[in-house]
Structure 1
C-alpha cells in the first residue's frame, strides 16, 4: 500500500520547485526592458564618434582663439616654411624676369648687356631666383612670419566654416575641392626686403594675391552637407548621446554590468574614430596632387585634427575609468578581492602609524561614519571638473581620475573602524 505521507511530500516539493522556477524566470516585461536597454547602449556607442566630430566642428568654427591656437604652431613647422618659401619665390619671380634688370642699366651699356644675356641668361635667372629665395627664406624664418601667419589665420578663422558651407571671400577661399590661404601680407614683406637689399625693381611688383593650399581633397564637396549637420548638432548631439547611454543603463536589470558595458562601448566607439583618422590621414596624403608637399600637407592635416584626436583620447580615457570604477564597486569575486586588498593595505598602514603614536581620534570616527558620502562627494567633484573644463584632454581625464583615487585613498587611510584598537587594524 502506498504511503500517502510520502506522496504528499513529493507533491509539495514539486510545487515549491515550480514556484522557484517561476520566480527565477524573467518576466516578459523585464525581457522587453533589457532589449531596449541593449538597443540604447548600442545606439550610444554608434553616436559617440558622431558626437565627438560634432563637438570638434562646433569648436573649430565658433572659437577664434581655438582656431588660431590650432594653426599657429604651423608657423614653426619646417615643411610649412619650406613650402611657403617655394610658393612665394615662384610668385615673386613671375614679376622679376632678368629682362627687367635692363631698366636699371644705362642706355649706352644695354647692347653689351643684351649680348651677355644671350650666353648667360639662364645663369643670371638662376642666380636671381636663388637671391630671391634666400630673401624669402629669411622673412619666413623670422618672427615676422609667425606674426603674419597668426594675423592671417585670426582674420580667416572661418576657414572651417567656409569648408563646410562652400562660401568664399576673405583670406580663405574654398573653390571646389581646395581650401587656400592668401599670402599677400607675406609677399608685401618680401618686396620691402628685396628693395632694402638693393633690388629696386622689386618696388614695381604689383599687389600680389597668391594662394597657399591648406586642404585639397575631392571628398570636400561630398562631406560638406554632413559636416554642416554636425555643426548644427555640435552641442546637442553629445548631450543626447550621454542621455541615451544613461537611459540604457537605467533600463537594464543589472545596472552595474550595463554601466561597465556602456562605458566600454562608448570608449570603443571613440577609439574607432581615432583609427579612422589614422586611416583617413594616409588615404588623404596618398591622393594629393604631385606638386603638393607631402610634409606640409601632413602638418596641416595633423593641426586641423589635433583637438579631434585630443577629444578621442579624453573619451576613451573617461570610458575606461568609468568602467573600471563600476566594476570595482560591484559584487564580483575579483572586484571583492581587489577591495579587500585595498582595505587590508591601508589597514596595515594605520596599524604602523598607530604603533608610532599617531591617533586619529574624532577624525577617524567622522570619516568612518560619513565615508560613503565623502566618497560620492569626491566622485561628484571629479565629474564637475570634467563637465566645466572647456576642452578636457586625455591627460586631464587621467589626472582627474588619479586625484579622485588619491582622495579615496586618504579616506581609507583615515577610516577608523569601530572596535579597531590602536596598533591593530580591523579585518576588512
Structure 2
C-alpha cells in the first residue's frame, strides 16, 4: 500500500542520510570510533566499500601508542633475560652453598671417589707421618686402606659438617672488636677414628699417632672482611634478583602490544640465559683447575667442583629446555601456522558422510483407496 501524497514510508522515518566529509563516507570507520579488536577481521570495515584507503585509527585520549608499548616491553623483557643467569647464580650461592645439610649431601659421594681418596691419603699420611716420625709412604698406604671402610665415610661427613659450620659462622658473625682470627677446624675428629682403625689392623707405630686437638686453618683472617661483604651481597641478591627477573618478564608481556611476540622473546631470552649460565660454569671449572699449582690434585679438585656445581648445571639445563619449549609452543600455535589452519579446516569442513534423509511417512489411506 502506497503512502498518501506528501508523506514518507514509515520504515524510512527517522533515517538520516550518511554525511560525506572530505570525500569519505561516515561508515568508513567503526560507528564507535574503533573496532573492539583493534582492526576489523577482514582488514576493512564492511561499510567502507568506496575504494578509499582507510587511515590508521588514531589512539584515543589517554591511550598509549603501540610503538611506545613495544619499546617499554622490549626494555623490560631484556632486563628480565639479563637477570636470569645472575639470579640463578646468586640463588645457588645464597641457598645452595649456605645449606649445611645440602653441602654435606653433595659432598658425601666423594668419599668413594678414587681421586679424592688418594688426595686425602697423601695429605693425611704426610701430616701424620711428620707428627709421628714414621715413614710417610707406609702411612699413606695405611690411610688409603682406611678410606675404603665405612668408618671413613662417617669421618668424611663429620669433617665436612664441622668445616662448613665453621665457615658459615665466620661469614655470618662480625666481631665488634675487629679481632678476627682465621677460620679453623679440629682434626681430632679425623685422627681419632684413624688411630683406632690402624691399631685394630696391627699397623706398626699406630699407637704413636698423636690424637690432639689440632686446629687447621680453612680461611685466612686477612680475607674475612671481603668474604663477609660478598656473602651479604649474595644473601640479598639471591632473593631479589630472581624475583626481579620474574616481575620484569611478566610486566614486559603485560604491556606489549603483541603479547605472543613478547612471550616468544622472553622464552628465547630465558633459554639464552640458561646457555650462558652453563657456559659460565664450564669456564669457571677450567679456570679453577688451571690455577692449581699441583697437577696431581686436579682430578680431586675437578670432582669437588662438579659436586658443588651439580645443582647449578641442572638449573642451566632446565632454563634452556623450558625457554625453547615455550618458544616452540608459541610459534606452533600462531594464527597462520599450518597446525592451526589444519585444525580450523577440520572444524569448518562438513561431514564427508552425510546422514541419509529420513524416509517420508506413508500417506494415510483415503476412502477412495479403501
The structure-2 alpha-carbon separation of the partners of 1:224 and 1:48, relative to structure 1 and needing over 3 Å to count, comes to farther
Q: Note if contact 2:274-2:318 (Cα within 8 Å) is conserved in structure 1.
A: no
TM-score by length of 2: 0.68
Unmatched 5+ stretches in structure 2: 1-19, 29-47, 356-370
User: Residue 304 of structure 1 corresponds to which residue in structure 2?
Assistant: 308
User: Residue 59 of structure 1 corresponds to which residue in structure 2?
Assistant: 95
Structure 1 residue 336: Cα displacement:
3.0
Of 120, 126, 144, the match for 1:90: 126
Q: Deviations over 1:123-142 (max 9, x none)?
A: xxxxx333322211111111
User: Residue 35 of structure 2 corresponds to which residue in structure 1?
Assistant: none
User: Residue 336 of structure 1 corresponds to which residue in structure 2?
Assistant: 340
Distance 1:252 1:129 in 2: 70
**More off after superposition, 247-256 vs 229-238:** 229-238
User: Residue 199 of structure 2 corresponds to which residue in structure 1?
Assistant: 195
Distance 1:167 1:423 in 2: 84
Q: Does 1:22 align with 2:56?
A: yes
Structure 1 residue 33: Cα displacement:
1.5
Structure 1 residue 204: Cα displacement:
5.5
User: Residue 214 of structure 2 corresponds to which residue in structure 1?
Assistant: 209
User: Residue 79 of structure 1 corresponds to which residue in structure 2?
Assistant: 115
The structure-2 alpha-carbon separation of the partners of 1:237 and 1:10, relative to structure 1 and needing over 3 Å to count, comes to closer
Distance 2:319 2:354 in 1: 44
The structure-2 alpha-carbon separation of the partners of 1:315 and 1:212, relative to structure 1 and needing over 3 Å to count, comes to farther
Matched position secondary structure for 2:54: helix
What is the root-mean-square deviation of aligned Cα atoms in Å? 4.2
Distance 2:52 2:64 in 1: 18
User: Residue 257 of structure 1 corresponds to which residue in structure 2?
Assistant: 261
Q: Note if contact 1:167-1:174 (Cα within 8 Å) is conserved in structure 2.
A: no
Matched position secondary structure for 2:147: helix
Of 237, 240, 247, the match for 2:241: 237
The structure-2 alpha-carbon separation of the partners of 1:419 and 1:212, relative to structure 1 and needing over 3 Å to count, comes to farther
Distance 1:270 1:160 in 2: 30
Distance 1:273 1:205 in 2: 46
Of 251, 254, 272, the match for 1:247: 251
Unmatched 5+ stretches in structure 1: 1-7, 99-127, 345-415
The structure-2 alpha-carbon separation of the partners of 1:294 and 1:190, relative to structure 1 and needing over 3 Å to count, comes to same
Matched position secondary structure for 1:235: helix
1:146-225 alignment to 2 at 5 Å? Answer: 146-158=153-165, 161=168, 183-196=187-200, 197-200=202-205, 202-203=207-208, 205-207=210-212, 209=214, 211=216, 225=229
The structure-2 alpha-carbon separation of the partners of 1:191 and 1:167, relative to structure 1 and needing over 3 Å to count, comes to farther
**More off after superposition, 23-32 vs 139-148:** 23-32
Distance 1:302 1:162 in 2: 25
User: Residue 323 of structure 2 corresponds to which residue in structure 1?
Assistant: 319
Q: Deviations over 1:282-314 (max 9, x none)?
A: 111111233771111111111111111111111
Bigger radius of gyration: 2
The structure that is helix-richer by fraction is: 1
User: Residue 290 of structure 2 corresponds to which residue in structure 1?
Assistant: 286
Aligned pairs, number: 305
Structure 1 residue 235: Cα displacement:
3.0
TM-score by length of 1: 0.60
Distance 1:144 1:212 in 2: 24
1:112-151 alignment to 2 at 5 Å? Answer: 128-151=135-158
User: Residue 273 of structure 2 corresponds to which residue in structure 1?
Assistant: 269
Of 71, 84, 87, the match for 1:48: 84
The structure-2 alpha-carbon separation of the partners of 1:268 and 1:419, relative to structure 1 and needing over 3 Å to count, comes to same
The structure-2 alpha-carbon separation of the partners of 1:33 and 1:198, relative to structure 1 and needing over 3 Å to count, comes to closer
Matched position secondary structure for 2:131: coil
Q: Deviations over 1:346-381 (max 9, x none)?
A: xxxxxxxxxxxxxxxxxxxxxxxxxxxxxxxxxxxx
The structure-2 alpha-carbon separation of the partners of 1:159 and 1:272, relative to structure 1 and needing over 3 Å to count, comes to farther
User: Residue 358 of structure 1 corresponds to which residue in structure 2?
Assistant: none
Q: Deviations over 1:314-348 (max 9, x none)?
A: 121221222222222221335536x649x97xxxx
Structure 1 residue 234: Cα displacement:
2.3
Structure 1 residue 41: Cα displacement:
0.2
Matched position secondary structure for 1:268: helix
